[in-house]
């Protein structure tokens, strides 16, 4: 995808293969209603000009051929081929935004003063067809959407592969970063000829009312169930659609989702293929099933819902070979035996990154480059040439300390790795044994940090406070260890006993957690919810807030500092020490 500059400070998006042809001409931005489009003028005769629209040019249309090109995402400047479709007049009208003089707030809903009702209608085969009326415009809109009186199917004259094209809205909690799971599903959906859009929870209701999807999918992590259920309940009152839930929480605890129409368990690419066939009678030849054992066959994630992201997310593998007791990975492998560790080929990974061409890449794998032969090949091929200059995209990834050795450190440096996330978790052997980290010594963690720093790779050391059975002395020892190891960033969280994990079940069984799993949130920066004293909960909460600062400035707090009342004073004293050290050449 590339940008073509326009007038008024605007730019249009086109596919790489269209860029050279389209960019030969001078284009300008033109506003029609509330939407900008890209246009250019051509001379057709003496003193005569014809306007060429960029989206029509991309689709190979010629002037006066009566073809209508529609933008799927309603962005008139997104002229990538996957965002364009040739439609009939009725479909183009059906998809239009509401007019400025619209008083109902909904397309096709108008006021009938004689009957004092809001009426609903759709345009079909050249005539208006009534769908009913109501005193409430929302109910009238629902009747229009559902074909309440006439059973009118929406977009019924768009046929693809023996079925109907559907709009499928995928909702995630946040879009501050790319969410790869829904993005992979979006790619499969579009490959089947349907429309897909990803939105976040905060904007989902308004977008769904505007877009009127046939299917709404919710990507739900533990702690977020009620938020998505409440949204679904609101939408069901005004729209007719099928709701689908997926991700970790529905996969582990499907019994909590009786409010959803469908549950997608485990990886969803094949499931969504089957679902689309069932929903619209799509011919099965249009849906090639994905061989999970060869994940190169999975289409690359669809990134159109995340434009202009400076950091792009990728995965080179699925699954994890390790069994940390606080993590769900090995339980996932037990539930879905065909979804254990699988690794993409280096060629497939590099080809995707070249295609996306990000400013910065973040590999989301639980453990990156598990196999040394893969890592060697990656370091060799993760470099390409542009106009005679060799370069690679800077990247960040996750490792375990025992994986880091001198050769791997050198390969990371050679391939352009700039940062590694690595877990210490706790410095206390008793707690390390509890979480399944006792096979890795503190000495090995220190060696891993040193190797990475020698290769100019920044290190983020991850830690967990308030583990079952821990004390404030344990947490302070973990802090002290971080200060000695000097990572570039020391990250700390408060342990949450997520259900379905070995450690979460251990807490519940032994009375360490007596609460209701329904009340667990997705945040691991709040006070501990385990059966600790209120004093320790406050101490660990305060320590988590200053953990990174303490490692950065090399200052250990006293236990008495770890209260909400005393915390500001400690921060002031810590920064004074830093200032004195700098001003007095380290003598103080």
Q: Any idea which of 78-82, 155-159, 166-170 has the lowest mean pLDDT?
A: 155-159
Higher pLDDT, 469 or 89: 469
The residue-averaged pLDDT of 156-170 equals 55
> Which residues, 6+ apart, have CB-to-CB distance to 365 below 8 Å?
315, 316, 317, 397, 398
pLDDT digits (tens, 9 = 90+) for 513-570: 988 777 677 677 788 989 999 999 999 999 999 999 999 999 999 999 999 999 999 9
Range 419-425 average pLDDT: 95
- Confidence at residue 293, expressed as pLDDT on a 0 to 100 scale: 62
Mean pLDDT of 243-271: 92
Contact 407, 373 (CB under 8 A): no
Closest residue by Cα to residue 82 from 66, 67, 70, 94: 70
> Please, which pLDDT band fits residue 74 given cuts at 50, 70 and 90?
confident
Instruction: Name which CATH class applies to 1-87.
Output: alpha beta
Distance CA 455, CA 406 (A): 9
Q: How far apart are CA 135 and CA 104, in angstroms?
A: 11
DSSP state at residue 518: G
Predicted pLDDT at 122: 61
Placement of tokens 């976040």 in the chain: 200
How confident is residue 169, by pLDDT bands cut at 50, 70 and 90? very high
Burial 229-247 (b: 16+ CB within 10 A, else e): bebbeebeebbebbbbbbb
CA distance 550 to 489: 11
Which pair of structure tokens corresponds to residue 504? 């979460």
What is the dotted CATH code of the domain comprising 310-555?
3.20.20.70
Looking at the domain covering 99-157, what would its CATH class be? Answer: alpha beta
* Alpha carbon distance 552, 547 (integer Å): 9
* Per-residue pLDDT at 160: 31
Range 128-145 average pLDDT: 60
Average pLDDT, integer, range 114-142: 64
**Can you give the length of the chain in residues?**
588
CATH class for domain 162-286? alpha beta
Question: How buried is 24 (Cβ within 10 angstroms: 0-12 exposed, 13-18 middle, 19+ buried)?
Answer: exposed
Would you say residue 137 has pLDDT above 80?
Answer: no
Pick from 379, 381, 374, 419: which is nearest to 399 by CA?
419
Rg from Cα positions in the chain: 28
Average pLDDT over residues 76-87: 87
Question: What is the rounded distance in angstroms from the CA atom of residue 443 to the CA atom of residue 401?
Answer: 10
Residue 425 has pLDDT above 60, yes or no: yes
3-state secondary structure of 373: helix
Segment 208-226 mean pLDDT: 92
Predicted local distance difference test score (pLDDT) of residue 152: 31
Q: Which of 99, 135, 131, 101 is nearest to 118 (CA)?
A: 135
pLDDT the model gives residue 95: 55
Q: What is the pLDDT of residue 321?
A: 83
User: In the prediction, which pLDDT does 117 show?
Assistant: 79
Mean pLDDT in residue range 8-23: 90
CB 72 within 8 A of CB 85: yes
Write the DSSP symbol of residue 243: E
How does DSSP assign 19-42, residue by residue?
A: HHHHTTS--EEEEETTEEEEEEEE
Q: How confident is the model at residue 408 (pLDDT cuts 50, 70, 90)?
A: very high
Q: Where are the domains of the chain?
A: 1-87, 99-157, 162-286, 310-555
In the prediction, which pLDDT does 377 show? 96
- CB-CB contact of 383 with 339 (8 Å): no
Average pLDDT of the residues in 336-343: 79
Q: With 90 as the cut, is the pLDDT of residue 410 above it?
A: yes
Q: What percent of the chain has pLDDT over 90?
A: 50
Mean pLDDT (the chain, rounded): 84
Task: Give tens-digit pLDDT for 361-385.
Answer: 999 999 999 999 999 999 999 987 6
Three-state secondary-structure class, residue 573:
helix
For 395-523, where are the alpha helices, taking DSSP H only? 406-414, 429-434, 442-454, 472-485, 502-509
Contacts of 352 (CB under 8 A, 6+ apart): 300, 314
Residue 91 has pLDDT above 80, yes or no: no
Percent of all residues in the chain with a pLDDT value above 70, rounded to a whole number: 83
pLDDT at 154 over 50: no
Neighbours of 268 (CB within 10 A): 21
What pLDDT is stored for residue 389 in this prediction? 67
Alpha helices in 68-112 (DSSP H): 89-94
Determine contact, residues 407/451, Cβ cutoff 8 Å: no
**pLDDT score of 396 more than 80:** yes
Model pLDDT, residue 186: 93
Do 364 and 334 contact (CB within 8 A), yes or no?
A: no
Using the structure block, give the residue that is written with the tokens 């700098």.
582
Residues 556 and 551: their CA atoms lie apart, in Å, by 8
Q: Is the pLDDT of residue 486 over 80?
A: yes
pLDDT, residue 42, reads 82
Q: Is 398 helix (H, G, I), strand (E, B) or coil?
A: strand
Range in 65-74, 265-274, 489-498, 515-524 with the lowest mean pLDDT: 515-524
329 compared with 310, residue with greater pLDDT: 310
pTM assigned to the model: 0.71
pLDDT at 66 over 90: no
Question: Residues 6 or more apart from 298 whose CB is under 8 A from it?
Answer: 184, 269, 290
Helix or strand (DSSP H, E) at 541: helix 534-553
**Per-residue model confidence (pLDDT) at position 420:** 97
pLDDT of residue 533: 94
């Amino acid at each position: 995808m590339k940008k073509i500059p326009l007038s008024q400070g605007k730019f249009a998006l086109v596919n790489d293969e269209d860029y050279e042809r389209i960019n030969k001409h001078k284009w300008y931005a033109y506003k029609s209603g509330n939407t900008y489009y890209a246009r250019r003028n051509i001379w057709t005769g003496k003193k005569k000009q014809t306007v060429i629209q960029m989206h029509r040019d991309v689709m190979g249309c010629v002037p006066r051929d009566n073809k209508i090109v529609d933008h799927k995402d309603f962005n008139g400047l997104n002229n990538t081929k996957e965002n364009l479709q040739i439609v009939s007049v009725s479909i183009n009208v059906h998809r239009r935004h509401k007019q400025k003089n619209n008083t109902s707030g909904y397309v096709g809903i108008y006021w009938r003063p004689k009957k004092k009702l809001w009426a609903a209608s759709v345009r079909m085969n050249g005539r208006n067809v009534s769908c009913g009326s109501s005193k409430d415009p929302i109910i009238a809109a629902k009747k229009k959407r559902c074909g309440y009186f006439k059973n009118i199917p929406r977009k019924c004259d768009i046929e693809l592969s023996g079925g109907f094209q559907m709009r499928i809205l995928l909702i995630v909690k946040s879009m501050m970063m790319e969410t790869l799971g829904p993005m992979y599903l979006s790619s499969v959906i579009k490959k089947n000829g349907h429309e897909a859009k990803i939105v976040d929870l905060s904007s989902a209701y308004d977008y769904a009312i505007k877009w009127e999807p046939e299917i709404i999918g919710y990507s739900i992590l533990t702690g977020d169930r009620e938020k998505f259920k409440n949204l679904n309940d609101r939408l069901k009152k005004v729209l007719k659609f099928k709701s689908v839930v997926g991700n970790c929480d529905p996969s582990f605890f499907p019994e909590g989702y009786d409010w959803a129409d469908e549950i997608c368990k485990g990886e969803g690419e094949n499931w969504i293929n089957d679902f689309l066939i069932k929903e619209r009678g799509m011919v099965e030849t249009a849906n090639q099933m994905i061989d999970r054992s060869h994940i190169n066959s999975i289409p690359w994630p669809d990134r159109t819902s995340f434009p202009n992201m400076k950091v792009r997310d990728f995965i080179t593998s699925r699954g994890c070979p390790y069994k940390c007791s606080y993590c769900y990975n090995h339980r996932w492998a037990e539930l879905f035996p065909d979804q254990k560790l699988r690794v993409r080929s280096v060629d497939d990974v590099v080809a995707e990154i070249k295609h996306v061409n990000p400013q910065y890449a973040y590999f989301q794998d639980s453990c990156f480059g598990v196999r040394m032969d893969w890592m060697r090949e990656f370091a060799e091929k993760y470099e390409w040439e542009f106009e005679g200059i060799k370069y690679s995209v800077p990247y960040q990834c996750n490792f375990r300390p025992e994986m880091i050795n001198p050769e791997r450190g050198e390969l990371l440096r050679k391939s352009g790795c700039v940062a590694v996330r690595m877990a210490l978790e706790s410095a206390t052997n008793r707690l390390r044994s509890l979480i399944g980290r006792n096979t890795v010594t503190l000495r090995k963690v220190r060696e891993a940090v040193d190797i990475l720093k020698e290769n100019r790779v920044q290190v983020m050391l991850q830690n967990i406070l308030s583990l079952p059975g821990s004390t404030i002395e344990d947490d302070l020892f973990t802090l002290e260890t971080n200060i000695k190891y000097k990572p570039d960033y020391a990250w700390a969280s408060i342990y949450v006993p997520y259900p379905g994990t070995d450690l979460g079940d251990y807490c519940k069984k032994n009375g360490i957690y007596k609460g209701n799993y329904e009340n667990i949130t997705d945040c691991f920066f709040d006070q501990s919810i385990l059966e600790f004293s209120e004093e320790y909960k406050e101490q660990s909460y305060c320590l988590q807030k200053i953990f990174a600062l303490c490692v950065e400035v090399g200052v250990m707090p006293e236990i008495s500092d770890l209260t909400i009342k005393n915390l500001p004073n400690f921060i002031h004293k810590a920064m004074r020490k830093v200032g004195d050290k700098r001003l007095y050449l380290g003598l103080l």
